[in-house]
Amino acid sequence: MIVLTGATGFLGSALLAQLLARGDEVVAVKRSTSSVRKIQALLDHPGLHLIDIDIDDPAHLFERYTIDTIIHTATEYGRGAAPLYSILNANLLLPLRLAELGMQRGVRCFINTDSFFNKGGNSYSNLLNYSLSKKSLLIWLDKLAGELGIINVVLEHLYGPGDSASKFVEHVIRKVGVEQAPHIALTHGHQRRDFIFLDDVVQAYLKLVDYGRSEDLRFETFELGTGQSMQVRDFVEQIKSIASSPTMLGFGDIAYRPDEIMSSHADISRLERLGWHPTVSAADGIRRILDMYGPDAERVRHAP
């Protein structure tokens, strides 16, 4: 049985659906105030057990269920006016509490979701509190490793249907592909990103769940992306082309941040050895998101 945090979120809800579909039982950890819109169709699934972590003591779920794997996807980025406590609680305190309880109860593996923001020992100033909280968690997980197998997933630029409008790809697709706004302000777009589609990410997590169940491990890191980077500029221009959009792309309207990450891509060799490979191209991924909008995106469904 699996404990999954962030089950009502973008990545967590997609992962939950696939875990249940393949026969896993899942204890989905959420807040009592969390919207269950993304998992509405799964609420009556016999393999799903929902826990309101702000009401129920986390220790109780380990008393009720026999858990072998914990997957931590819950994330608080700290955008807007999010208080520091909420950032630390989601990104550090909750996963540490679950990991410690899991260690005491014989859980085999804890799978953590990390970010390319933290590669190379840097702390990304745009999301500094988020970045620091994720780094702190890794330090503590390393201390627990050995008694609890740790898999750290360094996730590149995740995108897919149904993401938050605050995320870059979703924002651009809405403005350029669906609303076809007259103009969108952008940086010069020379940053290189490894854009990885949601479905490919979920399949990688399924491979890692099986790996964590079958292997005796201490602390292992898996980078998760396509293994290739492309300029943000090129990605945005693909959106405009596929949507046949008249939107003017304002490259250079926004200055780069002083510590802008100019290039990142994953080394996926370790995941490939487990039999995983990315399957969704950037063009296909963009079309799938546009298709999500139904009649609003009808004009792009048969675009070349």
Between helices 198-214 and 10-21, what is the axis angle to 10°? 60
- Amino acid in position 113: T
Closest CA to 302 of 244, 245, 249: 244
Question: Residues 177, 287: contact at Cβ < 8 Å?
Answer: no
Catalytic site positions:
130
Between helices 128-144 and 94-104, what is the axis angle to 10°? 10
Per the listing, tokens 């899942």 go with 26
Helix (H, G, I), strand (E, B) or coil at 115: strand
Question: Residues 6, 72: contact at Cβ < 8 Å?
Answer: yes
Helix (H, G, I), strand (E, B) or coil at 150: strand
Q: Give per-residue burial for 51-85: e unless 16+ CB within 10 Å, then b.
A: bebeeeebeebbeebebbbbbbbbbbbbeeeeeee
